[in-house]
Structure 1
Amino acid sequence: MSKNIANTALNQDVQQLGYDRSQLKSKIVHLGFGAFHRGHQALITHEMLAQEKSDWGIFEINLFGGEALITSLRAQDHQYSVSEMGASNTQVKVITSIVGSLHPELDGKEAVLSKMSEAQVAIVSLTITEKGYCVDLGSSTLDVENALIKADLKTPHAPSSAIGYIVEALRRRKEKNIKAFTVMSCDNVQENGALTKIAVLSFARLLDKNLGQWIEDNVSFPCTMVDRIVPAVTEQTLTQIESDLGVYDPCGIACEPFRQWIIEDNFVNGRPNWNLAGATFVENVIPFEEMKLRMLNGSHSFLAYLGYLGGYKHICDAMQNEAYEKATLALMLNEQAPTLNVPDGVDLEAYAHLLIARFKNPSLKHQTWQIAMDGSQKLPPRMIHSLCVHLKNKSAHKALILGIAAWMRYVSCVDENKISIDVKDPLLETFVGIYKERGLDKSVVKDLLAISSIFPRELLRDEAFVNDLTNAFQLLLTEGAKSAVASLEG
């Protein structure tokens, strides 16, 4: 037997919380066993289980890719490690809240559907990225032209999309008179519960109006706000984890010590007491969600595009440049915070300074390229919604302008040294077509602004805004990202 986390003596300072795993049931089915889930929901569930006698186990399912990860997880008895890397110290934890796993490529679609249909499953949670919901984020409607949705509508009993699996599992529960489960999105998408509800109900109604009505009457879709910086796993990450843990763990992840989970308390079939491990249940998640999306995620995107263009591989590298640090803090306090309506007692200035410290953490190698992915879907909630507030109020917004211009420059697919950028975005073909016609020229600004799924149409009609954005784009072309960021102090 090869050494792994389940059968090897680990380093003495590794945290292992004792509770009876044999009592756990697969009450939560989670779709998307990615790094963020491992460092957030699964870890918080694990720490909750150590606080009280409970049977809320998690059953992991990857629908697309990650077959090797699931195989590795099984080989080590569904245990894995999390390294919480602070600026000066690291805490390694072994997570044991997972009770099983499936993958349609390894086990077949029917096995996945059967598991989701089991009576004890009370929650189906999701970390499937924005794309996984198959929704047009601009119109907040199900994208019926999405290839997965079109295929699933033809063969609903053998689905491929997460939405298709959820609806088919609920259909089976309805037929067998089994109580419905709660569908809980944990993705970094604005009003993620509402968006999930739109996708699920729209898909179900296209198949069967009665099924759609039953889901609306019996299923809840709580919104959540999730926050923890979890960089993509690299071989360097795994090597460091092996050193800290005492054995190689192919499922291990590294993350920052900070974490936050705000959850709308709306569950139809029971829920764990995640609040015992630091989560907060509230009636309305939206104010917290907007705070995080604009201040943290908006600043992250700002740093990702201007950082990458400036030659910085990681967020912490960019933050070593004093101009980038000052610009990011100014963006948060002067341009993002004024657009928010947060509950009494929330200190946005303290939150901004906490975010700066998190971004500067040298132990976390969060790639600017990773954060820059899927910008067409991320820009609206992170920057454009704030921008529209400033345009309406006629208030200052020059950092937001530069951040959006940097995204436009980034999707040209070539950096300041004329080296290709591997842009990952569902609208990549559109960007390539625009740049092929216009070249690396400021005339692309209007063409990019005309993409209605990203930008409200009124922006293109605002001549002053278009002029400011075009000037910022030209500044990036002629002076480069570092000079453009430095100019924000003027």
Structure 2
Amino acid sequence: MSRLSLDNLPVAPSVDPRALSVGIVHLGLGAFHRAHQAVITERAAVASGETRWGIAGVSQRSANVRDQLAPQDGLYSVLERGLGDPSAMVIGSIREVLTAPEDPDAVVDRIADPAVKVVTLTVTEKGYRAANGGLDLDDPEIQADLTGRPPRTVVGQLAAGLTRRTDPLTIVSCDNLVANGPFLRKLVTEYFDALGKTPDTFAATKFPASMVDRIVPATTDADRDEAARLLGVRDEAVVVAEPFLQWVIEDDFAGDHPAWEQAGAVLTADVAPWEQAKLRMLNATHSMLAYLGALKGYETIAEAVRDDELHHLAQRLMTEDVVPTLTPPDGLDLAEYGATVIERFANPALKHKTRQVAMDGSVKLPVRMLGTVADRLAAGAEPQVISLAVAAWMVYVQETPDLDDPQEAKLKAALDGASEPGEVVDALLGVDSVFTPDLRDSTVFRELLVGHVTALAARS
């Protein structure tokens, strides 16, 4: 079967890719970006008629995405899997693919390009190289960037590009971090402080917060075959997604930006309530189902949520522990949102693997769960279900040989010699890059964790 390309288009993109010029740089060209921001950006081009918002996507690690997209002229399809028949649409908004390890100078050149007005990021929590609420200046890659090499870290790339610009940028973090925009500004500020020089344009550079939501499981060979059947051509870069798609962006831009609001995005003065609801309800529940589901032997989230016990726990997590800590944004009914979360997780067509959701737990836990724990403890409550979720992570860390976590060595070293539930809990509570002193010193939290770890260990 022939390959998808500009010369082989059975289903044309909504906008002519040949007409698009690059106005956006995206750092972290993974499946999520291609199923989310790139889709909304293409819809915005259609709605507004503007052609200056093509995307230069940057792969931060390997050349795999570039090797998939280059023979296809940057085209790929999004395979939507809902309760009905699947559908495939071709997306053409990505006009250039750069691989940072191969050509870091080209990445900086693009960020510095005057035609580029917006940089977006989906590099996952660990990509920010943060520690203790700020930039990890002891990180060897950050140190190497600070010495003046062509930068390899996202903060180094942004700083190098900003240094060469004569006009400010809008930089939009789309990762699951609390107040992600202000947090990224803090990291870049600390990087410039370490350099000893800050460019004049930095003060006017904007870092709006944003919240993104779409379930994007890893693509399988079966998905590629399904897309080929629907399209009539082979697409090696297909991404899979649920029909649901949400993007909430703080309305604080340094200059022009795509007409995202015409494509379904919400521009708001305050992203925080949306962000907290998503992180604490959807993301925390997703992680809990991943850890408990994996411990029960379930391969996918959909399988886990069909387990009556786990389904009930997911509901209780949101209603008993999370909702009391939230102030809902206008237009969001938390009970209805919680029901939608469970319904989306139960979609059997997605096959989102528990191990995929469980990865990088040490950096996900603080932003998804531990804030809820702290708020419930401060209110004098005993956060039973959220503590079970944290305990499930602890047992998962203890029992999983290949953890797929940036702090795997540190976590395994902490557990060395720990076998009894109390020892496991104390060992992991002592990892200060995960748990803050107030949680580590909480007798209530520790007792809840020990009880849950004991029960989980006895069952496994």
TM range (shorter): over 0.9
Confirm or deny that 1:81 pairs with 2:77.
Answer: yes
Q: Does the residue aligned with 1:411 lie in a helix, a strand or coil?
A: helix
For residue 42 of structure 1, what is the aligned residue in structure 2? 38
Q: Does the residue aligned with 2:84 lie in a helix, a strand or coil?
A: coil
Does the CA contact (< 8 Å) of 1:17 and 1:50 recur in 2? Answer: no
Does the CA contact (< 8 Å) of 1:262 and 1:280 recur in 2? Answer: yes
For residue 250 of structure 1, what is the aligned residue in structure 2? 236
Does the CA contact (< 8 Å) of 1:159 and 1:165 recur in 2? Answer: yes
Instruction: Using the TM superposition, give the Cα deviation of residue 296 of structure 1 relative to its aligned residue in structure 2, in angstroms.
Output: 0.1
- 1:430 and 1:7 map into 2 onto residues whose CA distance is 50
Instruction: Using the TM superposition, give the Cα deviation of residue 2 of structure 1 relative to its aligned residue in structure 2, in angstroms.
Output: 5.0
For residue 215 of structure 2, what is the aligned residue in structure 1? 229
For residue 342 of structure 2, what is the aligned residue in structure 1? 356
Cα 1:179/1:464, change in 2 over 3 Å = closer
Confirm or deny that 1:31 pairs with 2:31.
Answer: no
- 1:404 and 1:322 map into 2 onto residues whose CA distance is 20
Does the CA contact (< 8 Å) of 1:179 and 1:269 recur in 2? Answer: no
- 1:327 and 1:374 map into 2 onto residues whose CA distance is 22
Confirm or deny that 1:454 pairs with 2:434.
Answer: yes
- 2:119 and 2:331 map into 1 onto residues whose CA distance is 33
Q: Does the residue aligned with 1:389 lie in a helix, a strand or coil?
A: helix
- Paired residues for 1:17-416 under 5 Å: 17-55=13-51, 56-65=53-62, 67-106=63-102, 108-136=103-131, 139-156=132-149, 158-173=150-165, 178-211=166-199, 214-414=200-400
Q: Which letter does structure 1 place at the counterpart of 2:349? A: S
Selected match of 2:449 from 459, 469, 472: 469
- 1:2 and 1:323 map into 2 onto residues whose CA distance is 47
- 1:345 and 1:49 map into 2 onto residues whose CA distance is 27
> What residue ranges of structure 1 are gaps of 5+ in the alignment?
415-420, 481-490
- 1:18 and 1:284 map into 2 onto residues whose CA distance is 31
- 1:305 and 1:17 map into 2 onto residues whose CA distance is 39
RMSD of aligned alpha carbons: 1.7
Does the CA contact (< 8 Å) of 1:5 and 1:248 recur in 2? Answer: no
Cα 1:17/1:237, change in 2 over 3 Å = closer
Q: Does the residue aligned with 2:399 lie in a helix, a strand or coil?
A: coil
Instruction: Using the TM superposition, give the Cα deviation of residue 459 of structure 1 relative to its aligned residue in structure 2, in angstroms.
Output: 2.3
Instruction: Using the TM superposition, give the Cα deviation of residue 105 of structure 1 relative to its aligned residue in structure 2, in angstroms.
Output: 4.4
Cα 1:216/1:438, change in 2 over 3 Å = same
Q: Does the residue aligned with 1:356 lie in a helix, a strand or coil?
A: helix
Cα 1:99/1:389, change in 2 over 3 Å = same
Does the CA contact (< 8 Å) of 1:69 and 1:250 recur in 2? Answer: no
Instruction: Using the TM superposition, give the Cα deviation of residue 387 of structure 1 relative to its aligned residue in structure 2, in angstroms.
Output: 1.0
Instruction: Using the TM superposition, give the Cα deviation of residue 396 of structure 1 relative to its aligned residue in structure 2, in angstroms.
Output: 4.2
Instruction: Using the TM superposition, give the Cα deviation of residue 18 of structure 1 relative to its aligned residue in structure 2, in angstroms.
Output: 3.8
- 1:41 and 1:17 map into 2 onto residues whose CA distance is 15
- 1:39 and 1:263 map into 2 onto residues whose CA distance is 17
Cα 1:92/1:380, change in 2 over 3 Å = same
Instruction: Using the TM superposition, give the Cα deviation of residue 461 of structure 1 relative to its aligned residue in structure 2, in angstroms.
Output: 2.4
Instruction: Using the TM superposition, give the Cα deviation of residue 182 of structure 1 relative to its aligned residue in structure 2, in angstroms.
Output: 1.2
Does the CA contact (< 8 Å) of 2:38 and 2:93 recur in 1? Answer: yes
- 1:461 and 1:72 map into 2 onto residues whose CA distance is 49
Does the CA contact (< 8 Å) of 2:81 and 2:350 recur in 1? Answer: yes
Q: Does the residue aligned with 1:261 lie in a helix, a strand or coil?
A: strand
For residue 418 of structure 1, what is the aligned residue in structure 2? none
Q: Which letter does structure 1 place at the counterpart of 2:3? A: K
- 2:73 and 2:424 map into 1 onto residues whose CA distance is 53
Q: Which letter does structure 1 place at the counterpart of 2:448? A: D
Question: So what's the TM-score if we normalise by structure 2?
Answer: 0.96
With 67-76 and 362-371 compared, the bigger mean Cα shift is at: 67-76
Cα 1:345/1:304, change in 2 over 3 Å = same
Instruction: Using the TM superposition, give the Cα deviation of residue 423 of structure 1 relative to its aligned residue in structure 2, in angstroms.
Output: 0.5
Does the CA contact (< 8 Å) of 1:383 and 1:404 recur in 2? Answer: yes
Selected match of 2:414 from 419, 426, 434: 434
Cα 1:465/1:9, change in 2 over 3 Å = closer
Does the CA contact (< 8 Å) of 2:301 and 2:345 recur in 1? Answer: yes
Q: Which letter does structure 2 place at the counterpart of 1:37? A: H
Does the CA contact (< 8 Å) of 1:5 and 1:247 recur in 2? Answer: no
Instruction: Using the TM superposition, give the Cα deviation of residue 3 of structure 1 relative to its aligned residue in structure 2, in angstroms.
Output: 2.8
Q: Does the residue aligned with 1:189 lie in a helix, a strand or coil?
A: coil
- 1:89 and 1:386 map into 2 onto residues whose CA distance is 38
Question: So what's the TM-score if we normalise by structure 1?
Answer: 0.90
- 2:420 and 2:88 map into 1 onto residues whose CA distance is 47
Does the CA contact (< 8 Å) of 2:76 and 2:90 recur in 1? Answer: yes
Q: Does the residue aligned with 1:412 lie in a helix, a strand or coil?
A: helix
Instruction: Using the TM superposition, give the Cα deviation of residue 4 of structure 1 relative to its aligned residue in structure 2, in angstroms.
Output: 2.3
- 2:115 and 2:29 map into 1 onto residues whose CA distance is 20
- 2:159 and 2:308 map into 1 onto residues whose CA distance is 50
Does the CA contact (< 8 Å) of 2:29 and 2:60 recur in 1? Answer: no
Q: Deviations over 1:223-270 (max 9, x none)?
A: 100000001222232222222222221111011000110000111121
Q: Deviations over 1:279-337 (max 9, x none)?
A: 00001111100000000000001101000001001000111211111110111122111
Q: Does the residue aligned with 2:39 lie in a helix, a strand or coil?
A: helix
For this pair of structures, how many residues does the alignment match? Answer: 459
With 320-329 and 434-443 compared, the bigger mean Cα shift is at: 434-443
Q: Deviations over 1:26-50 (max 9, x none)?
A: 1001111100000000011111112
* Percent of aligned pairs sharing the same letter: 37
- 1:59 and 1:460 map into 2 onto residues whose CA distance is 44
Instruction: Using the TM superposition, give the Cα deviation of residue 436 of structure 1 relative to its aligned residue in structure 2, in angstroms.
Output: 2.2
Does the CA contact (< 8 Å) of 2:392 and 2:456 recur in 1? Answer: yes
- 1:58 and 1:161 map into 2 onto residues whose CA distance is 20
